Structure 1
Amino acid sequence: MEYHRPVLLEESIDALAIKPDGIYVDVTFGGGGHSSLIVSKLTNGKLYSFDQDRDAEEQAKKITSPAFNFVKANFRDLKKYLRLHKVSAIDGLLADLGVSSHQFNVAERGFSTRFDGPLDMRMDPQSDLSASDVVNTYSEEQLHRIFGMYGEVKNAKTLAKLIVGQRARKPIETIADFKQAISSCTPKGKENKYLAQVFQALRIEVNDELKALEEMLEQATALLKPGGRLVVISYHSLEDRLVKNFIAKGKFFGEVEKDLFGNEIRPLDAVNRKPITPSDQELLENSRSRSAKLRIAEKRELND
């Protein structure tokens, strides 16, 4: 089985407008598909690829180019780790926000509804909070909030109440336990979609994904040189909304700020008004790409 098939590979690398001597960052190394293609276009340039996953660290050993540097860290610590490599400005950054196929395909990681395994979902297996901890210790109100906000689950309140009732009988430790515990409020005929939303909510909470994304985008923008490119592939509306707002307004919520002369204060310009989506061919070859949206922004010149 293929480790991970990168989504929108050619489109995203084209979007970076790579200069052979430029400095680039891939904040989501995963299986290394995007990184390998970036490296192949560099001569004197450098690529710094981030991932907190130990399996990704193993995959990174396959790239032997002197231009390539693997950084085992969460992308929310982008600035700190680049500083350790004496990098203070970059020409482009790529983020592919999806969970890698490999993580989905390994039962022990607990990301997929297709297998039984521990209810885990940690991108970094060393981190403290697992999906089992969330399910077994969060209050009914907290569970209601995360399923409603992060999974956009229609019956989030009922689901939260049911989980609290079920865990009082016995702890919910595996994926099978969890699916069984929530079976009475899982809509018949729509099980897969419902479980995908519920699992998405847990995964976002466990990995603090939206806050980490906000922190990374702010740091990335500060690091980009004028004319540098920000390229982001997102897979659900919550991520895409944050990326879209940040590109358009320089902030995640509210209206764009203006200076005394009425000029908008925002660091980025959108390169594509509408997101780029996978081709029919890619959708046929990789069903996981179906929800992908690619957005491209360019750092504004300082005197814009």
Structure 2
Amino acid sequence: MTASSTRRTTAARSRLAAVGAIAVAGTLLLTGCGDQTQDKDKNSGSASTSTAPLADKLPQAIRSKGKIKVGSDIAYAPVEFKDSSGKVVGLDPDLAAAMGKQLGVTFEFENGTFDALLTGLRSGRNDIAMSAMTDNKNRQQGIDPDTGKKVGEGVDFVDYLTAGVSIYTRKGDTQGITNWSDLCGKKVAVERGTVSEDLAKQEAKKCPGGKKLAIEAFDDDQQSQTRLRSGGVDAASSDFPVAAYAVKTSGGGKDFQIVGDQVEAAPYGIAVAKNDAQLRDALQAAMNAIIKNGEYKKILEKWGAQDGAVKESAINGGK
């Protein structure tokens, strides 16, 4: 999920796999975000801190707890969502579990609305935010993309994937929409706080008189999809892997279609507080370790995201 005018999406930031290549567990159901209480499902597979190869890189407080609390919008399939049994699954949880084996801790995902994740991180509710979050300068510096004013101290990012933003419509009902300028005079659904919302706002300012772009912003992507499915809006926008997954799974592939090319490709990053450089660097080391040992590649292939792979994790690589 990107958020910020620089694009939850580095430059058409490596294309993720085509819709047909996205791996889906046939019967998995998409579910909406709940409240911000901790999800009871814990990612397993971490080694003990006494045997994990990178455990000594973690802050002692994290090692003592044996866990990293993760703020996440768990309604963004296939990046993170709940399956039909209520278990948290997806690209991010799988990557976190693999990193946990390197660090000797578990990553516990806590559900929250996307636009509140950085607030939760700054308040200490969570140790990190991992939620298909686009790394960009506004977030790094704590700048509000609407006003250009500083609203917080910002965060650091551990980058791990690239993705762009897509527009999709009801299948067979594109209304001539092929790019962002075609949205003028129409209604679009987006998730609040994302790059999709930023792009829609930018486009709305360009629309000629008499062709206003109406933007409906929701707490999570599932609500946007529901609104589009019901005909309440003409189009919706989200990160390409999420849009592609919705196109493939919703209504058995009969509900939606992607229109035009993805834009504003950018890195996904794990957000870490500015004053937590040791944790940031430990996460980067763990990400690079799973890139090197091949686990990263297998996980991306499982979720159809291999075209967005990076060769090495960067810190604050977003523009």
Q: Same fold (TM over 0.5)?
A: no
Q: Which has the higher contact order (CA 8 A, sep 6+)?
A: 2
Q: TM-score, normalised by structure 2?
A: 0.29
**Higher helix proportion, which one?**
1
Structure of higher CA gyration radius: 1
